[in-house]
Amino acid sequence: MAMDKKVIEDLKKQLLHEKEDLENNLSKIARPINQKEGDYETNFDEIGSDREDNAAEVEQYSENISIETTLEKRLQNIIDALERIEKGAYGICEKCSKEIDLERLKVNPSAKTCISCN
Protein backbone atom coordinates (compact mmCIF):
# COMPACT_ATOMS: atom_id res chain seq x y z
CA MET A 1 0.00 0.00 0.00
CA ALA A 2 1.53 3.32 -1.09
CA MET A 3 1.88 6.11 1.43
CA ASP A 4 -0.60 8.98 1.38
CA LYS A 5 0.78 12.12 -0.32
CA LYS A 6 -0.20 14.25 2.69
CA VAL A 7 1.78 11.96 5.02
CA ILE A 8 4.81 12.13 2.73
CA GLU A 9 4.52 15.93 2.58
CA ASP A 10 4.37 16.13 6.40
CA LEU A 11 7.43 13.89 6.74
CA LYS A 12 9.23 15.97 4.09
CA LYS A 13 8.53 19.14 6.11
CA GLN A 14 9.89 17.42 9.22
CA LEU A 15 13.03 16.39 7.30
CA LEU A 16 13.55 19.90 5.91
CA HIS A 17 13.17 21.42 9.39
CA GLU A 18 15.69 18.98 10.87
CA LYS A 19 18.05 19.61 7.92
CA GLU A 20 17.95 23.35 8.61
CA ASP A 21 18.64 22.79 12.33
CA LEU A 22 21.58 20.51 11.58
CA GLU A 23 23.06 22.96 9.07
CA ASN A 24 22.75 25.78 11.62
CA ASN A 25 24.46 23.69 14.30
CA LEU A 26 27.19 22.58 11.91
CA SER A 27 27.88 26.15 10.80
CA LYS A 28 28.87 26.98 14.39
CA ILE A 29 31.76 24.50 14.41
CA ALA A 30 32.51 23.77 10.75
CA ARG A 31 32.45 25.17 7.27
CA PRO A 32 30.66 23.55 4.34
CA ILE A 33 32.80 21.79 1.76
CA ASN A 34 29.90 20.46 -0.29
CA GLN A 35 26.63 21.54 1.29
CA LYS A 36 24.52 19.65 -1.26
CA GLU A 37 26.03 16.38 -0.03
CA GLY A 38 26.26 17.46 3.62
CA ASP A 39 30.07 17.56 3.71
CA TYR A 40 31.63 19.86 6.31
CA GLU A 41 35.11 20.47 7.69
CA THR A 42 35.62 21.26 11.36
CA ASN A 43 37.01 24.73 12.12
CA PHE A 44 40.27 25.00 14.03
CA ASP A 45 40.08 28.11 16.18
CA GLU A 46 43.34 29.66 17.33
CA ILE A 47 42.94 30.76 20.93
CA GLY A 48 46.50 31.86 21.61
CA SER A 49 50.11 30.88 21.31
CA ASP A 50 51.19 29.55 24.72
CA ARG A 51 51.11 25.86 25.72
CA GLU A 52 47.83 26.09 27.61
CA ASP A 53 46.14 27.86 24.72
CA ASN A 54 47.47 25.25 22.30
CA ALA A 55 46.19 22.43 24.50
CA ALA A 56 42.77 24.11 24.70
CA GLU A 57 42.72 24.52 20.89
CA VAL A 58 43.45 20.84 20.34
CA GLU A 59 40.90 19.74 22.94
CA GLN A 60 38.19 21.97 21.43
CA TYR A 61 39.04 20.80 17.92
CA SER A 62 38.85 17.14 18.99
CA GLU A 63 35.44 17.68 20.57
CA ASN A 64 34.19 19.57 17.52
CA ILE A 65 35.36 16.83 15.12
CA SER A 66 33.34 14.26 17.04
CA ILE A 67 30.26 16.51 17.07
CA GLU A 68 30.71 17.43 13.41
CA THR A 69 30.96 13.77 12.38
CA THR A 70 27.73 12.88 14.21
CA LEU A 71 25.78 15.89 12.85
CA GLU A 72 27.15 15.38 9.35
CA LYS A 73 26.03 11.72 9.30
CA ARG A 74 22.52 12.72 10.41
CA LEU A 75 22.45 15.46 7.75
CA GLN A 76 23.55 13.05 5.03
CA ASN A 77 20.79 10.61 6.05
CA ILE A 78 18.24 13.42 5.76
CA ILE A 79 19.55 14.48 2.35
CA ASP A 80 19.28 10.83 1.23
CA ALA A 81 15.68 10.63 2.52
CA LEU A 82 14.74 13.83 0.67
CA GLU A 83 16.23 12.37 -2.52
CA ARG A 84 14.22 9.16 -2.03
CA ILE A 85 11.05 11.27 -1.69
CA GLU A 86 11.83 13.03 -4.98
CA LYS A 87 12.50 9.69 -6.73
CA GLY A 88 9.35 8.07 -5.32
CA ALA A 89 11.37 5.49 -3.38
CA TYR A 90 10.73 6.90 0.09
CA GLY A 91 9.51 4.55 2.80
CA ILE A 92 10.86 1.40 1.14
CA CYS A 93 13.43 -0.69 3.04
CA GLU A 94 16.83 -0.71 1.33
CA LYS A 95 17.44 -4.32 2.35
CA CYS A 96 14.16 -6.22 1.85
CA SER A 97 12.24 -3.74 -0.36
CA LYS A 98 9.19 -3.89 1.92
CA GLU A 99 7.38 -0.79 3.11
CA ILE A 100 8.82 0.81 6.27
CA ASP A 101 6.20 1.12 9.01
CA LEU A 102 4.70 4.62 9.15
CA GLU A 103 5.22 4.83 12.93
CA ARG A 104 8.95 4.21 12.40
CA LEU A 105 9.09 6.97 9.79
CA LYS A 106 7.26 9.39 12.08
CA VAL A 107 9.89 8.81 14.78
CA ASN A 108 12.82 8.67 12.34
CA PRO A 109 11.82 10.12 8.95
CA SER A 110 15.28 9.40 7.52
CA ALA A 111 15.04 5.64 8.24
CA LYS A 112 16.41 3.54 5.38
CA THR A 113 15.37 0.13 6.70
CA CYS A 114 12.36 -1.50 8.30
CA ILE A 115 12.47 -2.71 11.90
CA SER A 116 13.13 -6.32 10.79
CA CYS A 117 16.20 -5.36 8.75
CA ASN A 118 17.56 -2.75 11.15
Q: Is 60 exceeded by the pLDDT of residue 51?
A: yes
CATH number 3.90.25.10 is the correct assignment for the domain at 5-107: no
Q: Give the pLDDT confidence score for residue 118 in this predicted structure.
A: 83
**Cross-strand partners of 52:** none
Average pLDDT for 42-49? 74
3-state helix, strand, coil in the chain (%, to 5): 60, 10, 35
Share the mean pLDDT of the chain. Answer: 90
Query: What is the average pLDDT across 97-116?
Result: 95
What residues does each domain of the chain span?
5-107
How much is the average pLDDT of 92-99?
Answer: 95
What average pLDDT score do residues 31-47 get? 81
> What's this model's pTM, rounded to 2 decimal places?
0.84
The more confidently predicted of residues 90 and 46 is: 90
